[in-house]
Amino acid sequence: MRIGKLCRQTVGTVAANVILGITWGGNMQLGRPTRKLQLLTLLLGLLFFSSSVTYAEPPLPLDLDDSRSALSIGEEMERSSQWLDAVRHYERALERWPEDENLKYGRRRAQVHFRVERRYSDQSFKNSLLGFSQDQALDLFDETASRIRNSFVDPLSQLSIVAHGTESLYIALANPKFVEANLPAAITDEEKQARRKSIQNFRSVLREQYWNKQVYNSQHARSVIVEVTRHASESLKIVPAAVVMEYVFGGCNALDDYSGFLTADRLSDLYSNIDGEFVGLGVEMKEEKDAGMLLVNVLPESPASVGGLRKGDRITWIDGKDIRTASIDEAAAMMRGQVGSRVKLRIERPSDKRDWEAVLIRRAVQVKSIPVAEIVDVEYGIGYIELSGFQKTTAEELDAALEKLGQQGMNALVLDVRGNPGGLLTAAVSVLDRFIENGVLVSTKGRTGDQNWTYRAHRQGTLNVPLALLTDGDSASASEIVAGAVRDHSRGTIVGRKTYGKWSVQSIFNVGRDTGLRLTTAKFFSPDGHNHSKTGVAPDVLVEEPVEHNVAWRGNNPEDERDADLERAKEILRRQVK
């Protein structure tokens, strides 16, 4: 794969929410160590680029009647460093003009800028990777590129990896955070003008000499990157590690939306997510421009919940520092800390028009797969289980929930996976095994034999009550495994909206020092052999999403007075119970 004139290649959407102690969900399956590399296979949910919440996205202006106007708006957002807003704008514009190459590249360019800013807000990146020697950084690139070429689901050339690294460096040189972190300070107007000219000259060198430069093998790739580092050092005084890291991280831009390089903090958070336990405050938040961090979710029994925080609150100050203009990664870094340490937050509650300070103590927080399990219709014995993720404890939690509901007279069940971005593949299989007696539940197929698996049901312990499954556009990956099997086995009625459409398998490899590489290594298929990538699983019963349901909650907003999906599911199950 070669990069076009300006590397015009489609990239995905961007994540804008983070759970303190966990960053981004995922659909994972533990595997055996491979040559001393801890290997983790996952069916990634809306993890790397996509958000697992519903946003209040403004539509394009009604009078916007050509793609050039849409491009101009996006470029203005980029000029003011509103990378995330720009990506969302380009995404909406591409829904109207899907073949416009300028919009595609605008989205890609804004996405790369967003990634650069995330890296330079990551303490483990700044404190560790930027301190590498040139040889250490190059060794990390070699290991990363080798793993990509050997394990990525589609064959990928060394040329494509290096070319995308060159593009990432080219774009980073126009990013204020990268420039501030890596180039000598410019104080006077004359110094600033001289620096701008030096950057422009070096970017011209990248385009004229290294854009899609032929690369014959891994050793040649290394020598090309060494040449670029020498040019960068001589013309801009950038340390080699900063340049090589753009090839490490930027080279992954040649991959799909669900693959990428993981810093030590990102990898640690991912493993914490697998265990369903992390140290933190227990809040999920998204960045709101000039307003702070909006709390999208507050985990039950967490420090934040005990401290009185709830969905819809905003954090505006952390330990005496105003974060209303901070990025989500900067805010998350300030909120991290050791068990028992304190953090002081200033909170705004728009609904009450008040603000206050809260001092919270960081501690271990348990993340429950099933936050709600209750009877929602006593007369007909209809139970309800909200399944918010798939992790190690999911099967145990589900068994406990089913036993409790059975003791309360459950005759039918509503299983809710709305807003569920994924989790452990084995957990998804275990969930299905409780409801399907026999046959294939899901299969995976990849380039290598160790990625080809078929998972089957076991008759013992199967629950045979009528089932309704609630889904929406944020039901992804492992949630779609459940939906696909329920559909193919005619096991229940799917109610709600079409699922996200993410049907590929990722693996996590440890590379370098405490860092990781997330790669798509296979695709997964429903029992009848369907792969619903980019299309999703359509519901049996479509329920239109209410117009007012446009707040950034995970899944369904529990404060809604009437849950139309649940009411429709109850109507269906009442007829079946009769």
- 277 secondary structure, DSSP code: E
Provide the Cα torsion 262, 264, 269, 270; round to 10°. Answer: 40
d(CA 444, CA 455): 9
Q: Pick the catalytic residue: 268, 369, 477, 507?
A: 477
488 is catalytic: yes
- 130 secondary structure, DSSP code: G
Element (H, E) at 81: none
Locate the DSSP E strands across 230-351. 260-262, 277-280, 283-288, 292-298, 314-318, 321-322, 342-349
Whether residue 321 contacts residue 343, with contact meaning beta carbons closer than 8 Å, is answered with no
d(CA 500, CA 257): 14
d(CA 455, CA 484): 13
507 is catalytic: no
Element (H, E) at 451: none
Q: Pick the catalytic residue: 286, 311, 392, 502?
A: 502
Q: Which ranges of 206-239 would DSSP assign to H, the alpha helix? A: 218-236
d(CA 452, CA 455): 10
Provide the Cα torsion 223, 227, 233, 239; round to 10°. Answer: -20
Contacts 24+ apart (CB under 8 A), 302-308: 302/365, 303/360, 303/361, 303/362, 303/363, 303/365, 304/360, 307/358, 307/359, 307/360, 308/358
Nearest alpha carbon to residue 221 among 156, 171, 170: 156
Which amino acid is present at 232? A
- 31 secondary structure, DSSP code: -
Tokens of 566: 């649940």
Provide the Cα torsion 548, 82, 312, 477; round to 10°. Answer: 70
Whether residue 162 contacts residue 209, with contact meaning beta carbons closer than 8 Å, is answered with no
Angle at which helix 134-151 crosses helix 240-251, to 10 degrees, equals 10
Nearest alpha carbon to residue 488 among 421, 569, 432, 566: 432
Whether residue 403 contacts residue 385, with contact meaning beta carbons closer than 8 Å, is answered with no
d(CA 222, CA 234): 18
Element (H, E) at 433: helix 425-433
Angle at which helix 240-251 crosses helix 101-119, to 10 degrees, equals 130
- 206 secondary structure, DSSP code: I
Whether residue 358 contacts residue 546, with contact meaning beta carbons closer than 8 Å, is answered with no
Tokens of 464: 């045979």
319 is catalytic: no
Q: Pick the catalytic residue: 100, 256, 377, 488?
A: 488
Q: What's the Cα-to-Cα distance from 18 to each of 51, 333, 405, 495, rounded to whole Å? A: 9, 11, 32, 28
Listing DSSP states for 58-72 in one string gives PPPPTT--SHHHHHH
Please give the positions annotated as active site: 477, 488, 502
